[in-house]
Amino acid sequence: MSAYQELETRFKRMAALGEAEGMLHWDMSVLMPAGGAASRIEQLSALKLTTHEMKTDPRLAELLEAAEAEVPDDPWRAANLREMRRSWVHANAVDAGLVDATTRACSACEMVWREARPENDYARVLPYLEEVLNLSRQAAAAKAEALGRSPYEALLDQFEPDGSTARIDSLFTDLSAFLPDFLETALSRQSARGEGELPDGPFSVDKQRGLGERLMRTLGFDFDAGRLDVSLHPFCGGVPGDVRITTRYTEDDFTESLMGVLHETGHALYEMGLPDDWRYQPVGQARGMALHESQSLLIEMQACRSREYLEFAAPLMRETFGGTGAVWDADNLYRLYTRVDRSFIRVDADEVTYPAHVILRYRLESALIAGDMKLADLPGAWNDGMEELLGIRPPEDRLGCLQDIHWYDGAWGYFPTYTMGAMAAAQLFAAAKEARPEIPEGISKGDFAPLVGWMRENLHTKASSGSTDELMQAATGKPLGTEAFKAHLQTRYG
């Protein structure tokens, strides 16, 4: 067996362990009783340490050097070798003790956050979050030295390979200059045309779930290879052949859970479309979270909040909930689903105000990682930031710094990818419609085959064979930028 072939064998085993870890995380969020927390921490730690030991095995370093001495002629194998090296650098930058401590701290913090959030008790979770941040900063410093990058960029690289703060700052500065005035324009236009009216509830959870599953099928979700469940924070997990998505329900409003389901289905379609031949190799994984988020936002925001889609979905909503009257017409539902509002919760925010939520989190986590701010000051800094960026001030931490799971679960450096994903979604959707003009008409009939087919061909099956900009260039003719996103907002809300 050649050095490269042995590397593939070893990375396949590590990928399988990673999939098992992902399933345990899903179970912890969806089904596990609170009493299982201690056992789950041990299980996750054992898997993390086993994988870390495999990646830090001196033999792996020897194999990488031998394989890199004769880079494979096949571009996929060459890309796979590149991604193997990236994974190796991240793993070998930190020791086993830090990996174990971080895994345990993140699991413990997440479990406390699940109780602290609904109870609006930041003080309760603060000591756990301080431990997570301390360990994350240690990992950031070690990886920064290994990668030759800043500590924040070293964390970002785990979610957006080769991402840089200079690039993010440039993109966010452009949006920050555009959005404040445009928000006023959008609110003025909305006032003139009238806001959509939410139909009267209650809306039973069973009916909401049934409608969600029906619409998931029209998008192309395969229930023989995935499922829908409930969790405190919506997410997509699992593995390509067994994708697990979650949402959360309220009987007062069906619109939030439904769009949450469609959003996570976008993530799921990406996972389901990754190339089978490379499933257990680094090159076969999704290309970073910016493109992953682009797929959820392409489905939810670009397609399913469009007037065309609501012409198709409105009768199904009316039928599901037994609705009557004009509030169930597509025109009202379109105005409802494209409502612009300064709101506290990121996952419920509209397209126009959403970037402000992300920019705030980016600023805060950058300061925390750099040591320029203390976690004890986070609630006040969060509230000040919301007031500066959106003109509203959260009345409680449940609507502020407690709302997102990411920091409490150790995902530092993740947030910028959300708005980068929104930009990519607009750019990809525009390119798809130009290449296949039948896409809007298909959406109006609930036929997503043209859109998903184009994404399969131009993005999903490419996996990590190139960088984010290389894949965007190949699919759209341009690297990631703000132009398509701004044009989309002006067309829909301006």
- The dihedral built from the CA positions of residue 357, 358, 360 and 364, taken in this order, carries a sign that is positive
Whose tokens are 């260039």? That residue is 473
How far apart are the C-alpha atoms of 257 and 262, rounded to whole Å? 9
Cα Dmax for the chain: 70
How far apart are the C-alpha atoms of 398 and 273, rounded to whole Å? 36
* Contact assessment for residue 280 and residue 17, using Cβ atoms and an 8 Å cutoff: no
- The dihedral built from the CA positions of residue 197, 203, 207 and 209, taken in this order, carries a sign that is positive
DSSP string, 153-186: HHHHHHHSTT--HHHHHHHHHHHHHHHHHHHHHH
How far apart are the C-alpha atoms of 222 and 273, rounded to whole Å? 11
Sequence-distant (≥ 6) Cβ neighbours of residue 425 within 8 angstroms: 293, 294, 295, 297, 298, 301, 302, 485
- Cβ neighbours around 239 below 10 Å, total: 21
Which one-letter amino acid corresponds to residue 186?
A
Tokens of 68: 């890199």
Q: Which residue among the candidates 21, 264, 271, 365 is catalytic per the annotation?
A: 264
Q: Catalytic residue at 311? A: no
Q: Single out the residue of 122, 155, 126 nearest to residue 138, CA to CA.
A: 155
Catalytic residue ranges = 264
